[in-house]
Amino acid sequence: MSQRLEGRLSQIVRELPPSGIRRFFDLANQMEDIISLGVGEPDFVTPWRVREACFYALEQGYTTYTSNRGMPELRVAIANYLHKYDLHYDPLTEIIVTIGGSEAIDIAMRTILSPGDEILIPDPGYVSYYPCAILTGATPVAVTTCASDDFKLTKEAILGKITEKTKAIMLCFPNNPTGAIMTHSDWQPIVDLILERDLFVISDEIYAELTYGEKHVSIAAFPEMKERTVVVSGMSKAFAMTGWRIGYVTGPEYLIKEMLKIHQYTIMCAPIMGQMAALEALQHGEKDKDAMIKEYDQRRRLVVEGFRSIGLPCHEPKGAFYAFPDIRNTGLTSAQFAERLLIEGKVAVVPGEVFGQSGEGFIRCSYATSVKQLETAIERIGLFLTQLDRIEA
């Protein structure tokens, strides 16, 4: 009976593959005494001043809906904040506060894509881009990035995948899972190509704050790019506010106007408590944020050095909080490696293939974990590798 009913559900949803992370989560969740480098969120709790501001807002009775676009003061704070990346948006018409960057990605794709369109997606990349594109009826097309290029996006890779159906390109730099960033000179040839082919751009810049040594460069800051670019960002990563579910999307008025329709009918508005907290974070949270970034940077050096010292090649991630070491010389697939490391070595990492075919041969290791845990994890992985060698030999 239920099978018959199930067969009548939306075909597009039924055919959507379940998240690869989910399967791995179920496995890891049963284990005890593991160290997890598999977590895609900060290990810090939200800065106290931000949590405290939320209590205050609740005491004051801020428990209502807000404007669909989000609280006006928050939109002003977001607009001011984005000036640091040379991004200039009108808080009245060019910003929507969303339920995390997640919603922003969804409504941007639904607004730009029609069935039959193609959207280029960097591979490896964050897990929601593919399904969100498929749900619009469009076809996601992977654009490979390689370890040999430090996982930067290249014009050549795009040219190999672009067709007359290509309408848009999804971007994610600093990148989850590779930690890759793009500099001004990395962007230039890609910007030229995008203009030449008249593509839309959805640029997920949720890790913009987390770059090490080089400041984030937003593609939307290039001349002529703003009118065709939607920037997705949010509070989750930079301010350790994942659970608050506050993100935002900025873009030219004509695009925001259309995205707002979806947002207002499906979401209405982001929760006001989260918006009040986000306001505090943007207005007074800079020092807290900078302290966390400093700490990530130290851990980043520790894990990269650690992986190299136990024989895993690892390019230097310049952004986000992930290292993406190369496990190809173990002869295992990334899924096999991750599964055996979990069971035999008691360390959880995420197999690179979860983030797309080009992630195969790599594992994503989050360094949003204490230094002590990181040091123990590297030790355990080193031991696991030695045992692996012994079995192979």
Partner 1 sequence: MDERAKQTLLQLVHDDALQSHESLATRLGVNVEEVVQAISDFEAKGIIMRYGAVVNWDKADSSRVTAVIDVKVTPERGRGFDQIARRIYLFPEVVSVSLMSGTYDLQVIVEGRKIQEVAQFVSEKLSTIENVTSTTTHFRLKTYKFDGVIFDDPTTDQRLVVTP
Say which entry of partner 1, ligand PLP, none residue 24 contacts (CB below 5 to 8 A, set by partner kind). Answer: partner 1
Residues 158-177 that bind ligand PLP (CB under 6 A): 172, 176
Smallest distance, partner 1 to C-beta of residue 131, A: 11
Smallest distance, partner 1 to C-beta of residue 148, A: 24
Q: What is the DSSP code (8-state) at residue 17?
A: P
**DSSP conformation letters of 19-86:** PHHHHHHHHHHT-SSPEE----S-SSPPPHHHHHHHHHHHHTT--S---TT--HHHHHHHHHHHGGGT
Residue 338 near residue 24 (C-beta atoms within 8 A) = yes
Residues 180-199 that bind partner 1 (CB under 8 A): none
Say which entry of partner 1, ligand PLP, none residue 234 contacts (CB below 5 to 8 A, set by partner kind). Answer: ligand PLP
Q: Of 192, 224, 253, 305, which one interacts with partner 1 (CB under 8 A)? A: 305
Q: How far apart are CA 232 and CA 369, in angstroms?
A: 26
How many C-beta atoms lie closer than 10 Å to residue 179's C-beta?
A: 30
Smallest distance, ligand PLP to C-beta of residue 319, A: 11
Query: Binding pattern to ligand PLP, positions 200-219, x when CB under 6 A?
Result: ----x-x-------------
Q: Of 12, 45, 58, 159, which one interacts with partner 1 (CB under 8 A)? A: 45
Q: Of 28, 35, 40, 109, which one interacts with ligand PLP (CB under 6 A)? A: 40
Q: What are phi and psi of 197, to 5 degrees?
A: -95, 5
Angle, vertex CA 176, rays to CA 130 and CA 283, nearest 5 = 110
Among 3-11, 182-190, 234-242, 256-264, the segment contacting ligand PLP (CB under 6 A)? 234-242
Say which entry of ligand PLP, partner 1, none residue 100 contacts (CB below 5 to 8 A, set by partner kind). Answer: ligand PLP
Say which entry of partner 1, ligand PLP, none residue 127 contacts (CB below 5 to 8 A, set by partner kind). Answer: partner 1
Among 65-73, 97-105, 216-224, 265-273, the segment contacting ligand PLP (CB under 6 A)? 97-105
One-letter amino acid for residue 294 of the chain: K
Q: Of 93, 139, 144, 242, which one interacts with ligand PLP (CB under 6 A)? A: 242
Among 30-38, 201-209, 225-233, 385-393, the segment contacting partner 1 (CB under 8 A)? 30-38
Smallest distance, ligand PLP to C-beta of residue 215, A: 19
Residues 48-77 that bind partner 1 (CB under 8 A): none
Q: Which two tokens stand for residue 263?
A: 């947002």
* 234 sits near ligand PLP (criterion: CB under 6 A): yes
Handedness of CA 203, 208, 213, 218 (dihedral sign): positive
Q: What are phi and psi of 310, to 5 degrees?
A: -100, 10
Residue 35 near residue 369 (C-beta atoms within 8 A) = yes
- Residue of 331, 384, 387, 328 lying closest to 360 (CA atoms): 328
Say which entry of partner 1, ligand PLP, none residue 301 contacts (CB below 5 to 8 A, set by partner kind). Answer: partner 1
**DSSP conformation letters of 181-221:** ---HHHHHHHHHHHHHHT-EEEEE-TTTT-BSSS----GGG
Smallest distance, ligand PLP to C-beta of residue 348, A: 16
Long-range contacts of 16-25 (CB under 8 A, 24+ apart): 16/131, 16/134, 16/135, 19/127, 19/354, 20/127, 20/351, 20/353, 20/354, 21/127, 21/350, 21/354, 24/338, 24/339, 24/348, 24/350, 24/351, 24/354
- DSSP helix/strand/coil, 319: strand
Q: Give the residue with the Cβ less far from ligand PLP, 68 or 128.
A: 128
Say which entry of partner 1, ligand PLP, none residue 206 contacts (CB below 5 to 8 A, set by partner kind). Answer: ligand PLP
> What does the binding site for ligand PLP look like in residue numbers (CB under 6 A)?
40, 100-102, 126, 172, 176, 204, 206, 234, 236, 242, 247
> What does the binding site for partner 1 look like in residue numbers (CB under 8 A)?
19, 21, 24-25, 28-29, 34, 36, 38-41, 43, 45, 126-128, 176, 294, 298-299, 301-302, 305, 348, 350, 354, 371, 375
